[in-house]
Structure 1
Amino acid sequence: MKKLKIYYCLLFIISSCIAKKDVYGNYQYKGVSYGFSKEYNLLIKKDSFSMSYKSQDASPKCIGKWNIFQDTLYLRCNKEKLVTNMLSRGYMNQRDYKLKIIGSKRLKMLKENIILSKK
């Protein structure tokens, strides 16, 4: 019984490490929503990420930290220190994102229901 628990713990740790290696890179989505073009760009680095969104009237961006739990990638934007940045059209109101990992080249944004593909 004890050996079985150790085996599962090691398997979980190894699978977590493999998933983190596969997730690095540039992801992109281009599409149309309600008649307007929409574009997401996501760059995942070893210890941080940057995401930008472009639509007709806005182009918000955010930089932050990420982590993976099972098959879900969690993005958390850094806190903005300047109020003027928060009031600009470059401020991303949503600060937390959940993305489901779909293989090594695709991520699904759960709230937006869109799929980002690796470049």
Structure 2
Amino acid sequence: MKRAVVYVIITLGLFFSCKTQKIGQEALCGTFYKLNKEKNFSSSYTLELRLDSSFTFIVMVKDAKPQCEGKWKIIDKEFILLECNESSNPFEMLSSGYMSKKEHKLQVINNDKIKYKDFVLKRKK
């Protein structure tokens, strides 16, 4: 009986320690990428997270390459919030390289995978 109780306690301890493990900023730094190919359309997503909390996010679609740079932070231990800098150049705002959405919330799956919308970006080795 004692053995069963010890086993249950150890199992619960391991379960909760893994579940509450905080993903650190250092562990997430790097470049993440996803190429999405469909029959008549393809797109790619590149996200570079830097240790100084800056990032570059590039979305490549048929005739456009919207991108933004800014600061990122971890929220609720499982999400990344990207906050894009405002552009001071009015011509950039009119170009196909302008990303109109200034905040993006991505879900951290693990240190090597981040979910953006319906796409899973994987760490580039």
Structure 2 gaps of 5+ residues are 1-16
TM-score (norm 1): 0.80
Structure 2 match to 1:31: 36
Residue 97 of structure 1: how far off its partner (Å): 0.6
Per-residue displacement from partner, 1:31-52 (whole Å, max 9, x unpaired)?
A: 1257311000110001200011
What number of residue pairs does the alignment pair up? 104
Structure 1 match to 2:60: 54
1:98 to 105, 108, 111: 105
Structure 1 gaps of 5+ residues are 1-10
Structure 1 match to 2:4: none
Give the letter for the 1:118 counterpart. R
Give the structure with higher Rg (CA): 2
Give the letter for the 1:24 counterpart. C
TM-score (norm 2): 0.76
Structure 1 match to 2:92: 85
Structure 2 match to 1:113: 118
Per-residue displacement from partner, 1:24-76 (whole Å, max 9, x unpaired)?
A: 00000001257311000110001200011111110111100000011001001
Residue 77 of structure 1: how far off its partner (Å): 0.5
Identity, % of aligned pairs? 30
Structure 2 match to 1:43: 48
